[in-house]
Amino acid sequence: MRTGPQAVARVFGKRIAPLVVLLAVFALLGDPRGGGVLAGLILAAAAAFTATIGGIALAMQVFAPAVLRSASTWGVALGLAAGMFASSGAAFNFIIVEIAGRSISVGGALLHLAAFVTVASVGALVFFGLGAREPAVDDPR
């Protein structure tokens, strides 16, 4: 077993990474203004954090690049579809649902979801592309 700062970073990293993903979900659900972009950046940071602590191979197992590429495509398509649909009617209030006495715009929710999926997947893919040659924190090199 390794000792020193690398061991401390690895132990805390394994405990904190799931909390960062949970923070991304809370940011997506809680912030009505730009929550999708912020949550996507937080999730991309979780992928970068996992790669930094456990190595790029572990991060690519957890966040599969094929799934990330597919998610980025679907996120852009969802954003384009919601934007085109919204442009034909009222701006992003094209479907209003009332849940528990509160009016919620489904169009705005779709745009937040599209931004979240696109930013998270593209951010993780960019980090994987740039960080593929760097050693992990506990790598003896």
Q: Report CA-CA distances (Å) from 35 to 26, 109, 117.
A: 9, 10, 12
Neighbours of 18 (CB within 10 A): 10
Q: Where are the domains of the chain?
A: 5-130
pLDDT tens by residue, 97-117: 676 776 666 777 788 889 999
CA quadruple 33, 39, 40, 41: dihedral positive or negative? positive
The answer, yes or no, to whether residue 18 has pLDDT greater than 60, is yes
- Across 18-32, 101-115, 127-141, least confident range: 127-141
Asked if 54 and 18 count as a contact pair (C-beta separation under 8 A), the reply is no
- Per 3-state DSSP, the chain is made up of helix, strand and coil in percentages (nearest 5) of 70, 5, 25
- Tokens standing for residue 26: 């809370």
Range from 38-42, 102-106, 111-115, 126-130 carrying the lowest mean pLDDT:
102-106
